[in-house]
Amino acid sequence: MDAATLTYDTLRFGEFEDFPETSDPVWILGKEYNALTEKDDILSDVTSRLWFTYRKNFQPIGGTGPTSDTGWGCMLRCGQMILGEALMRRHLARDWRWAKSPKQRQEYISILNAFIDKKDSYYSIHQIAQMGVGEGKPIGQWYGPNTVAQVLKKLAVFDTWSRLVVHVAMDNTVVIEEIKHLCMPWLDAAAACGESQGLGELNGCMEGACALVEEETALWKPLVLLIPLRLGLSDINEAYIETLKQCFMLPQSLGVIGGKPNSAHYFIGFVGEELIYLDPHTTQPAVEPSEDGQVLDETYHCQHPPCRMHICELDPSIAAGFFCRTEDEFDDWCMRIRRLSCNRGGLPMFELVDSQPSHMVSVDALNLTPDFSDSDRLERFFDSEDEEFEILSL
């Protein structure tokens, strides 16, 4: 049976391996725990993450398409989980904890409604699957990390409630200048005013630009940074392992989407040499919101010990995610990444640069459409489902 079609519906929660008794620190999305004394806190943190799994009996995708994503939607569900974590940070903060309750906070319910399996939800399986068609992925086909990152970037534009900037950093390079212009669009407005008016009028122009933007959003639009990476050929290069673990220790970490070939997971941390992850390979019935807008939310939280796998089993094709609510948080992230790059314990997974290198050409300069006409080329590098692709040289 193909790995992508495996589900764990027959497992009972009691059959999951309990969390290990170890003195090694446990890291969950930027928070450190002691497994010997804080096990309840660890499980509460994991349970509070949004857990999106296969669903069945939802509205047909596209009106006549699938009514279940079992067997093909695991990477789409992982994409929902990493973006769901970003929305939780945006509207509820990292320390928010979930508890069973007939009446939940409105912000939390609004986040869940953004992912409900209906065609009009911002980040539903319907929206992701149909937007993926523009990335060359027919409905029902397995996605890789890069494709789902590109799709989430496009869908976030329509989310007027969260007003996120989702940036997908390509070519293993994060360009600081590019991100700041995306998150602070008033910079471009101020620059345009500076070119068209005298210096004496520039101050007033900047104030006007800021006032205009403040009507719509803050001076910094919260950033979701997704970085598709290839950390080896068929297996992960061990030189990246320590750097990857360090990423889970950053307070801005949203985790990593990846897994094994054709079987995706959402990785949220590590303990020792094991990665901790949420597994979407359980098929549950689709959920309909009640008349008062509340959602039966227990099935959106993993209430058993999280799954673990040895880090060397990770497929080298991944996408790492980070969330920066403010410019200060982004500056702090840049400082931490630069500090990591100076460590000799591991190989940097990507490059952080102030401005765009001369060898990189922006999408705007190429005047490409939002559908990314070169997505097939990108997919062949970043997504391991293209089995015919071979890297001939490094």
Point out the residues that are catalytic.
74, 279, 281
φ, ψ at 221 (rounded to 5°): -80, 130
282, 54 Cβ separation under 8 angstroms: yes
Residues 6+ apart with CB under 8 A from 336: 250
Count CB atoms within 10 A of the CB of residue 263. 19
Give the C-alpha distances (Å, rounded to integers) separating 84 from 51, 113, 124, 271, 287. Answer: 9, 11, 11, 23, 17
